[in-house]
Structures are given as C-alpha cells and as structure tokens.
Amino acid sequence: MNSENTLIDKVKEICGVASDNALAVTLGVQRQAISKIRRDEMHLSDERIAELCGMAKLDGGEWLARIHAERAASPAEKALWRSVLDRLSAAAAVVALGVFLFPGVVHANPIEINNLHASSADNLYIMLKSPCSCVGLPPSLLLLPLATLKSAPSRLAGGLIAG
C-alpha cells in the first residue's frame, strides 16, 4: 500500500470517518477523486496532504516527505526526500527522548515568585526551572524585553500573550 492510501486510512481511523465517500464529502471533493487516488491514477496535492494531516493532527512534514519520496522520478530526487524524512524522524526521536528524560519540563508546575521588582515596566522576568537543575546546576533566569514578547505572541507562551 502506498503512503497516500495509508494517510487516507489513518485520517479515516483517527477522525472516525466511516468510508472513502464520507471522507470525500468532508473534504468537499467528488467521491471519484478518492477512488482515483486509491488506484494511483491521481495524487494528493501538497495542500490536500496538509489538510488531511491537520484533520488528524498528524505530522504534515513527515507525510509530505514520505509521499514525495515515493513519487520521486529520479534516484537523486528520491534520495533527497529520504534524507528529509530521515532528518524529520531523527528530530522526532530527539524530542521524544527529551520528554522521556525530562518529564518535568513538559509538565512544569508554576513557581511562585515573591518580592520581584522590575526596574522598568518594559521588562518581564521569567524564572525557568532548567532541565539541568536535576543534575545540580542552578535554574536559569531569562530576561526578555516586553516588546519582544508582544511582537511574537504566537511563538511564545503558545500565543497566550496578547499583543
């Protein structure tokens, strides 16, 4: 089974979609489109791959690289996409290992800070418990200008800081 069919099956399973026809309705495409993809007569666009991955909360980059590696016309192109896929897999393994080794970082509890006085209203002090503190190193102190936080709310604090 090719990766496009595998992706379609995974999305159906995760999203609780009963059939290819129901998936076509959900995506707003004709039933024959899914059928043609299944028979390798048509391919998913990158935009459609991203949409499917978003629906099922799957890693779009990994699926995109996997599908493009299968579609590659030349050995050089295939090798390039395999290299991208290998790098993505390695990065995911490092993140998983980090979560396993430092579970407190992911599930950190808020720290109460008493008597903290800022010298300026434009500064925000954040005390972080460093993963290194478990091996005897002191926690790190991060000082960021408030303007920096306001200029990049989506990258910091999961978008919780309003601009």
The answer to whether the pTM exceeds 0.85 is no
Architecture of domain 3-101 in this structure: Orthogonal Bundle (1.10)
Burial class (CB in 10 A: 0-12, 13-18, 19+), 33: middle
- 10, 17 contact by CB (below 8 A): no
Instruction: Check whether 60 has a pLDDT greater than 80.
Output: yes
Query: Can you give the residue ranges of every domain in the chain?
Result: 3-101, 107-163
How far apart are alpha carbons 7 and 60 in whole angstroms? 10
Average pLDDT in the chain: 73
Q: Summarize pLDDT for 88-111 with one digit per residue, the tens.
A: 777 766 666 666 666 655 544 445
Secondary structure element (H or E) that encloses residue 106, with its range? helix 103-106
Instruction: Check whether 87 has a pLDDT greater than 90.
Output: no
Instruction: Check whether 149 has a pLDDT greater than 90.
Output: no
